[in-house]
Structure 1
């Protein structure tokens, strides 16, 4: 039945879709279906039934008057030389050469356009690095960066327009019926086979480059020059753009060959009742070799694993690089404004830094002491009841934690107890340890990619922790609700109150769960228990919920 439907669609392909034509097409389809079902019911095979139906109903000229579309058929009977060459039944060698040239040019235009769109932000990022290093002024740097980005995007738009213009020359070629002469078919087949082998190779290389694109950023933190750091950090765009170019160009060229193959297949189906050798199959799908897929997957896993391991090793083994004394400084950082208002929010967003935050009576106003390279000194805003600490970044940044291998930077923050009132703290660090001490109230949300979190002597309403690679330790705190997700590391909590103060929901995929002397070992260890309602003095305490993928969970209570 599918062959009959396709044949019918080809019969009406060049007729306008008017109500009369659509009604005639539906009537003819119904007649063909009835005949097909009648023949198969009599025991005829499906192939024979299709051939009989097509031979009986396949001449639209004979059925036109009966179906009421005779006028439309007469309009189609115009001189052959006035028809579009897309309706021609046969292509010679010259037409085949032109189409193959079009396919390759179209693929190149589209792929270049996509690549330039990806490269656009690269220019802006490089200019930002030049500004940070002091090579050019801010105004000129921003102007050049924006101009570079818009030039790339503008060139891409021009290429897309050119590709679209070339496509209009052939239109929806897959909807036509085309027969290739023997010489033309041989030419197309030869080029297609060469291009298909090349496409398989470029696909492997393109995927490899897309994965490899993050590798140079691993060394961005090694650079003392901020321009070089920006180039390495944003090189992911440059390399990935080349990879995408290879993928898109090969895929686009393959699609053009497939469209021509469909057009020749349409002709073969239309001539199925006759003996014809005008065309042969010109497209055969090739698969990417299995070994190439395996190598690409292995390489991708290695890159991602390296990205997770490097920052952990750097910060927990204190790998230091040679840095001149002029590049290291210890100073008290003065924020934009000194404030005496109660602190409502503390936000930290840093790439690579060890942070110590303490609430104490030793200071009368917030104090910030930084140790490390001057170029990596964080920006601190302290006003209107909000403390905001963030890395000095400009423009587009690519946050790969493995791109921040550098001399350890530390920031020590001391806040007066009198100014800390139900403060909300939000911490986000790509790499580095965090120490929180003496916080008297409020709540904390911590998101750490690589580094330990140590919270001690704090009284909190709740704390939420998301640690990718590192340990979490809560020591001698009074926290009403604890929620933690630890991907690779241990969770340890020391609580000087009774065990029944909390409800517990603890689970470790690959590790042990223990609470005091009670231990649960094995794969997917779990411990769940409700709060003891008879525990006096801890009515406001709620739950300790911890999930650890690779690591142990330990709870110690009185």
Structure 2
């Protein structure tokens, strides 16, 4: 494949680096790669496959005339990312996704520890403490874990700040795009499996709650703790592997990243503004219902409901904005 990539680079070297030319080059690479793989599967040697592929795609002049490409168009002023920048962006995105995933898991674990402490006090495992004191003690690990999580979120954000220039637009060389596309194709199977595992954990987690509820009411509280633990693992999987998937999509400019960065940033700003209101409100309701009304055994459901409602809003808003484009 490197021979084909070098062939294309040499073929297009003398042409202006316009958006039309770059698009034609990328389409040719995809078609030539498909044909090359097809010939290899038929038993052709590498040299035979490359020779047939190059000979079948005609001259560059014919392709320019066929696609009616304007050679006088203004060249693209977008920055071309080098290999080091691309690799740094991918690795930093993975680290950022890992930190965010762990941070979210710590927040959920804090709620689980709070419920555990309350249950230990109410069940008499820890003697000499009133329910209110048990609640206050349970809040300590919750706030500590949330504080650590917030620190992780901030650090993860600062790690990605140095790549903000990419929001203004960028280009990839033909070889880089081919390499990233192959990496993305290989990652698709891992991503699909991770999503399946995460969804299965979310679906199976209520079984623990139902089983413990059938035993007795006190045991059901421990079921909630196990449920939250399974959800924390699922959320980590969604965040970490979702971040990697988002990274490849941004580099390859597919799906939502095919739209202009200005429109996408406006969309993200609206969703972020709603999130800054909805989630703190959910936390306030959680704390009030627990500290004042002692509903720790059931108020954990506030967060899954908030998550579902917010996900519905984000999805509907994104779809509506895409329809306007």
**TM-score normalised by the chain length of structure 2:** 0.52
Query: Which consecutive unaligned segments of at least 5 residues does structure 1 have?
Result: 1-5, 9-44, 61-75, 77-86, 267-391, 401-558
Which of the two has greater strand per residue? Answer: 1
Please tell me whether the aligned partners of residues 216 and 232 of structure 1 are also in contact (alpha carbons under 8 angstroms): yes
Q: Which moved more, 1:111-120 or 1:145-154?
A: 111-120
Please tell me whether the aligned partners of residues 100 and 152 of structure 2 are also in contact (alpha carbons under 8 angstroms): yes
Kindly state the Cα deviation for residue 121 of structure 1 after the two structures are TM-superposed.
1.7
1:166-207 superposed Cα distances (whole Å, 9 cap, x missing partner) = 12111152532232473x556534543343221100100111
Q: Residues 73-84 of structure 1 correspond to what in structure 2 (within 5 A)?
A: none
Of 294, 297, 309, 1:396 maps to 297
Kindly state the Cα deviation for residue 124 of structure 1 after the two structures are TM-superposed.
1.1
Cα distance in 2 for partners of 1:57, 1:180 equals 20
Partner of 2:237: 246
3-state SS in 1 of match to 2:298: coil
Cα distance in 1 for partners of 2:110, 2:300 equals 18
Kindly state the Cα deviation for residue 219 of structure 1 after the two structures are TM-superposed.
2.1
Kindly state the Cα deviation for residue 399 of structure 1 after the two structures are TM-superposed.
9.8
Please tell me whether the aligned partners of residues 94 and 244 of structure 2 are also in contact (alpha carbons under 8 angstroms): yes
Partner of 1:132: 122
Q: Which moved more, 1:119-128 or 1:138-147?
A: 138-147
Q: How many residues in Structure 1 have an aligned counterpart in Structure 2?
A: 202
Of 92, 101, 110, 1:102 maps to 92
**What CA RMSD, in Å, does the superposition of the two structures yield over aligned residues?**
3.7
1:258 to 2:159 alignment: no
1:367-409 superposed Cα distances (whole Å, 9 cap, x missing partner) = xxxxxxxxxxxxxxxxxxxxxxxxx975232799xxxxxxxxx
3-state SS in 2 of match to 1:211: helix
1:111 to 2:127 alignment: no
Of 102, 113, 122, 2:112 maps to 122
Cα distance in 1 for partners of 2:180, 2:300 equals 47
Partner of 1:58: 74
1:263-301 superposed Cα distances (whole Å, 9 cap, x missing partner) = 9xx9xxxxxxxxxxxxxxxxxxxxxxxxxxxxxxxxxxx
Please tell me whether the aligned partners of residues 120 and 152 of structure 1 are also in contact (alpha carbons under 8 angstroms): yes
Please tell me whether the aligned partners of residues 120 and 148 of structure 1 are also in contact (alpha carbons under 8 angstroms): yes
Please tell me whether the aligned partners of residues 133 and 225 of structure 1 are also in contact (alpha carbons under 8 angstroms): no
Kindly state the Cα deviation for residue 164 of structure 1 after the two structures are TM-superposed.
0.9
Q: Residues 354-393 of structure 1 correspond to what in structure 2 (within 5 A)?
A: none
Q: Residues 504-543 of structure 1 correspond to what in structure 2 (within 5 A)?
A: none
Partner of 1:199: 191
Please tell me whether the aligned partners of residues 90 and 181 of structure 1 are also in contact (alpha carbons under 8 angstroms): no
Higher Cα radius of gyration: 1
Please tell me whether the aligned partners of residues 192 and 257 of structure 1 are also in contact (alpha carbons under 8 angstroms): yes
Kindly state the Cα deviation for residue 256 of structure 1 after the two structures are TM-superposed.
1.0
Q: Residues 382-461 of structure 1 correspond to what in structure 2 (within 5 A)?
A: 394-397=295-298
3-state SS in 2 of match to 1:213: helix
1:508-542 superposed Cα distances (whole Å, 9 cap, x missing partner) = xxxxxxxxxxxxxxxxxxxxxxxxxxxxxxxxxxx
Pair 1:90–1:245, CA change in 2 (3 A): closer
Cα distance in 2 for partners of 1:194, 1:200 equals 11
1:151 to 2:164 alignment: no
Cα distance in 1 for partners of 2:186, 2:107 equals 29
Cα distance in 2 for partners of 1:187, 1:109 equals 26
Partner of 1:444: none
Pair 1:128–1:158, CA change in 2 (3 A): same
Please tell me whether the aligned partners of residues 114 and 141 of structure 2 are also in contact (alpha carbons under 8 angstroms): yes
Please tell me whether the aligned partners of residues 79 and 171 of structure 2 are also in contact (alpha carbons under 8 angstroms): yes
Which of the two has greater helix per residue? Answer: 2
Pair 1:90–1:150, CA change in 2 (3 A): closer
Cα distance in 1 for partners of 2:73, 2:182 equals 38
Pair 1:258–1:245, CA change in 2 (3 A): same
1:214 to 2:214 alignment: no
